[in-house]
Amino acid sequence: MRINECSCGCGGSSDSCSTSNKSEVNYMFFGNLESIKRMIDEMVQMDAHEVDEILKDGHEWAVDHIASSLDDVQEVYSFIKNHVSVPMGREKDPFAEMDFVKTFESYLNESKKLNK
């Protein structure tokens, strides 16, 4: 999939989806968050020893990609978190369901422990 390609399969760009009735202009942002979360959830469920063996077999690039992704996600998370107002009477963190930053950190920490 190209960077600005719509994920619905219509062949258009993300800002001109021919099949979408999305109300948000940046619906791809939210779709990408869901995709990231799903993939992280799947990777976290994988056998850590098996993944570690794969990574040690000349695939350090994957560790680097996860580290740089964490940095990018943290930047966006911090920016949005600092600009989102919490509705009155709501004590819950609005990003609690999208806890991908902590998932990334947990995965990286687990990987570091295994590599020692």
> Does residue 8 lie in a domain region?
no
Per-residue confidence (pLDDT) for residue 40, from 0 to 100: 95
Tokens coding 36: 């990231």
pLDDT in tens, 51-76: 999 999 999 999 999 999 999 999 99
> Does residue 70 lie in a domain region?
yes
> Does residue 39 lie in a domain region?
no
User: How many domains, the chain?
Assistant: 1
pLDDT in tens, 99-113: 666 667 777 777 777
> Does residue 32 lie in a domain region?
no
Give the domain range for residue 109.
46-115
Q: Which residue has the tokens 């709501």?
A: 90
Question: How many Å is the Cα radius of gyration of the chain?
Answer: 17
* pTM score, whole prediction: 0.54
Position 13 confidence tier, pLDDT thresholds 50, 70, 90: low
Q: Which residue has the tokens 């978190």?
A: 81
